[in-house]
Amino acid sequence: MLPIIAPLGLNWFYEDIATNLAQDLTAFGLPAMARSSHDVDALGTQAGGTVLIVNYSECLIAAERAARRGELVAALDAFEHRILVNYDTIYSHWFGNQFPSDAPPITAIADLTMMRQVEAPLVRGVPYKWVPEAFSDRERATVRPWEAARPLPWAMLGHATADRAAFLSAAMAALGSDGFAFLPPHRPFDRRSGFEAAEIARVLGRADLYLWSSHHNFPYHEGFRALHAVAAGAVPAKVDPLNAGHFADVPWVYPNLEAVREARERLGLAGLYRQAFDFIEGHGRLAANVAEAIAPWYPAARALLSGGRRLEVVQ
């Protein structure tokens, strides 16, 4: 059984990732279980092999809040392979936080992103594997295609920053003022600081466009946003004036809002949705991509893949 630990109570996003990944890997033929980072007793029973860690920094914070940080550190130290399932831009301090000096080191990085961040085989001295972001089988089965007559022409969701406030004002001018925006403060630092999965799906299921901009200037595609949009039948549209050229192969990244408006007029919402859906479908399925990435350090994955249990995996 492959343990996948995530911070419980801090961020629904990472909990959802761990649960979804565990379910998809299990269905794929690699039994896995999502665990809270402060469930150290159960984690200790699986020590010795490989563990997947979803946001190491926040796992340590969650364990510390439960007064079990030292126990988590000891439990992780008993694993030979500690693989970081990464959702941060590798150029940021958030990624740097995944390498604490007072805890067992990460031994490999499985970078679960829409585009490969670097071509180098090592990042911070440990092996780096790109895992193309993709739907799990369960997610793919629930995808709702875009259809006309949605009540919201656009929706914007994300923690409030000065740049996003300006972006909201520009969106209202470029695309109309009858969209939907929810920009809560980032604090308190727990799962109450924004919408969770069900609320996001409910809003995006009523919107034509899902607009977003980064809260930083690094060339990075925020995890899950496009998947959330396409699953709910909305068209993803990331606006990134500084880095749009870096994402030239991704059909929903634009240099400005005028480019979004022009694309909508030229291709129509149905055409834009089909482009986004086809691009994500080209990434295969989540479990196969993760299994391919962790196979060097997880014998069960190697055996499964070499035995022919493989979906199409982006190379």
Computed over its alpha carbons, how large is the radius of gyration of the chain?
20
pLDDT band of 311, cuts 50, 70, 90: very low
Segment 72-90, tens digit of pLDDT = 999 999 999 999 999 999 9
pLDDT of 5 over the 80 cut: yes
**Quick one: which H or E segment has residue 90?**
none
Distance, C-alpha 56 to centroid of its chain: 15
pLDDT, position 312: 43
pLDDT of 195 over the 50 cut: yes
pLDDT band of 186, cuts 50, 70, 90: low
Report phi then psi at 51, rounded to 5.
Answer: -130, 140
Q: Interhelix angle for 162-175 vs 257-281, to 10°?
A: 100
pLDDT band of 308, cuts 50, 70, 90: confident
pLDDT band of 188, cuts 50, 70, 90: low
pLDDT, position 187: 62
Q: Per-residue b/e over 237-268, b at no fewer than 16 CB within 10 Å?
A: bbbbeebbeebeebbbbbeebebbbebbeeee
* Cα–Cα distance for residue pair 241/89, rounded to 1 Å: 17
pLDDT, position 310: 57
Segment 128-148, tens digit of pLDDT = 999 999 999 999 999 999 999
Instruction: Please compute the mean of the pLDDT values over residues 145-156 and round it to a whole number.
Output: 97
Whether residue 222 contacts residue 212, with contact meaning beta carbons closer than 8 Å, is answered with yes
Distance, C-alpha 84 to centroid of its chain: 13
What residue has token string 């085989």? 121
Instruction: Please compute the mean of the pLDDT values over residues 92-105 and round it to a whole number.
Output: 96
Instruction: Please compute the mean of the pLDDT values over residues 31-45 and round it to a whole number.
Output: 90
**Entry pTM:** 0.92
pLDDT band of 190, cuts 50, 70, 90: low
pLDDT of 265 over the 50 cut: yes
Please, which residues have CB within 8 angstroms of residue 146's CB and are 6 or more apart in sequence? 208, 233, 234, 235, 269, 270, 273
pLDDT over 70 percentage in the chain: 95
pLDDT over 90 percentage in the chain: 79
pLDDT, position 11: 77
- The SS3 assignment for 85 reads strand
Q: Which residue type is seen at 186?
A: H
pLDDT band of 315, cuts 50, 70, 90: very low
pLDDT band of 313, cuts 50, 70, 90: very low
**Quick one: which H or E segment has residue 130?**
strand 126-132
Report the 10 Å Cβ neighbour count for 171: 24
pLDDT, position 158: 82
Measured in residues, the chain has a length of 315
pLDDT of 44 over the 90 cut: no
Name the residue with higher pLDDT: 313 or 271. Answer: 271
Segment 102-120, tens digit of pLDDT = 999 999 999 999 999 999 9
pLDDT band of 244, cuts 50, 70, 90: very high
